[in-house]
């Protein structure tokens, strides 16, 4: 019988570790460190700090930038989780240079440094351009759904939130009345009820404060849409896996290496309304690379969600060509439609594929050459 060595996954260890050796050349964290530590001017952050003579020493912005961007790249966006990563993840600990910033320090840096971070983003684009990674001739725009930390429970119009407030008050009153009428309630049940009552009272106060301090939220066409008490900039967005409370992250990427030129998050499912703003952001970013009128003669690609006369005019005003299909494009395309509308996920049959006799190959409806792969036995 085989005999193997026993292991202990949960065993704590005392190790001698050189933090700089954890950042291995060729990795994302190595590139991030070289870029932030050696290539970018971070002096724009200094004016935010006023602790030359009084107060505790602050954590350097370059360290916060590194740990935040690295954690974002692996899907960790919560400030509390980033704080935990600084304590237990060796790569993040190396990026943080053995510092352990509190979650409030991280969240305050992200929320309070938006203007400075945009300038840093432009600095990164200059570095990318210097390395020949940006062509600046063709761009593509698209969006993706991003969940926020806000709960759908706290969403609603003012009328819906008022109704929720009244319902919570009724439940609170019922708990109080129960205690008045019944002196035989056990200690454990009474403590549980009091705990529940305190939670309900906190919810009441939260909803009431929001109703007093916020106006009704309006959508793109002027209709009333649901607000959110926790994060009112987020919205209820329908995605491929149902409705989420979050944002629509829209990005414009350069065609050469898919370097993102402009990006922003919006609390709305409708992407098209933000096309003019994204064109403006793209122009601002490219102006630092190409000078005045940087979008002249360029091309912007987008799907039919961005099609509208206003959006085409916005591109035209920058002397840019917008290639955006309208919603009926597929119905008019003979190659895709061939007189019959393909419903649902119907397969492409032989009539959609073109045969090239000379090369003895087929071209698919997407314009790609079909290759033959033999089965491996």
* Tens digits of residue pLDDT in 72-121: 889 888 899 999 999 999 999 999 999 999 999 998 888 887 778 778 88
Instruction: Dump pLDDT digits (tens) for 246-293.
Output: 888 899 999 999 999 999 888 887 888 999 999 999 999 998 888 889
356 bridge partner residues:
361
pLDDT tier at 158 (50, 70, 90 boundaries)?
confident
Mean pLDDT of 311-338: 83
Checking phi first, is residue 258 left (phi over 0); if not, alpha (psi -120 to 50) or beta? left
Checking 165-171 for CB contacts under 8 A at 24+ apart, the result is 165/204, 165/207, 165/208, 165/211, 168/200, 168/203, 168/204, 168/207, 169/204, 171/200
Structure tokens at 106: 């991280």
State residue 320's pLDDT score. Answer: 93
State residue 336's pLDDT score. Answer: 61
Mean pLDDT of 221-228: 70
State residue 375's pLDDT score. Answer: 54
Whether 342 shows a pLDDT value over 60: the answer reads no
Mean pLDDT of 189-217: 76
29/22 Cα distance (integer angstroms): 9
Instruction: Dump pLDDT digits (tens) for 33-51.
Output: 999 998 888 888 888 787 7
Whether 317 shows a pLDDT value over 60: the answer reads yes
State residue 193's pLDDT score. Answer: 73
Domain positions in the chain are: 19-47+57-131, 158-215, 343-377
State residue 187's pLDDT score. Answer: 66
Structure tokens at 321: 């060509």
Q: Which residues of 20-40 are buried (b: 16+ CB within 10 A; e: fewer)?
A: eebbeeeeebeebbebbeeeb
pLDDT tier at 13 (50, 70, 90 boundaries)?
confident
What is the pairing mode between strands 299-301 and 138-147? parallel
Torsion angle of the four alpha carbons 199, 202, 208, 212, in this order, in degrees rounded to the nearest 10: -150
Whether 341 shows a pLDDT value over 60: the answer reads no
Q: pLDDT above 70 covers what percent of the chain? A: 88
């Amino acid at each position: 019988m085989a005999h193997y060595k026993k292991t202990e996954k949960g065993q704590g260890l005392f190790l001698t570790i050189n933090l700089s050796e954890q950042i291995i050349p060729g990795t994302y964290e190595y590139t991030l460190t070289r870029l932030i530590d050696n290539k970018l001017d971070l002096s724009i952050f200094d004016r935010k700090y006023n602790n030359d003579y009084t107060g505790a020493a602050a954590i350097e912005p370059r360290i916060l930038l590194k740990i935040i961007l690295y954690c974002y790249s692996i899907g960790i966006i919560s400030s509390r989780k980033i704080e935990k990563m600084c304590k237990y993840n060796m790569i993040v600990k190396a990026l943080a240079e053995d510092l352990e910033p509190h979650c409030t320090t991280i969240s305050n840096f992200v929320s309070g440094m938006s203007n400075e971070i945009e300038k840093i983003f432009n600095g990164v684009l200059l570095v990318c351009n210097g390395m020949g990674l940006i062509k600046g001739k063709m761009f593509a725009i698209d969006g993706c759904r991003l969940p926020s930390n806000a709960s759908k429970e706290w969403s609603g119009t003012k009328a819906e939130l008022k109704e929720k407030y009244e319902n919570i008050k009724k439940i609170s009153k019922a708990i109080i009345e129960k205690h008045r009428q019944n002196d035989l309630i056990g200690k454990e049940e009474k403590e549980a009820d009091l705990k529940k009552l305190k939670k309900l009272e906190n919810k009441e106060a939260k909803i009431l404060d929001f109703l007093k301090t916020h106006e009704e939220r309006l959508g793109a066409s002027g209709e009333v849409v649901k607000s959110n008490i926790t994060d009112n900039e987020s919205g209820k967005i329908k995605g491929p896996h149902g409705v989420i409370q979050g944002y629509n992250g829209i990005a414009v990427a350069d065609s050469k290496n898919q370097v993102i030129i402009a990006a922003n998050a919006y609390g709305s499912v409708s992407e098209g309304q933000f096309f003019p703003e994204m064109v403006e952001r793209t122009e601002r970013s490219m102006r630092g690379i190409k000078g005045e009128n940087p979008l002249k003669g360029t091309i912007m690609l987008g799907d039919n969600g961005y099609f509208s006369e206003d959006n085409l005019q916005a591109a035209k005003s920058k002397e840019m060509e917008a290639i955006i299909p309208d919603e009926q494009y597929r119905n008019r395309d003979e190659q895709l439609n061939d007189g019959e509308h393909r419903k649902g996920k119907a397969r492409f049959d032989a009539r959609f594929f073109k045969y090239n006799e000379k090369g003895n190959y087929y071209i698919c409806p997407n314009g790609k050459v079909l290759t033959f792969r033999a089965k491996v036995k």
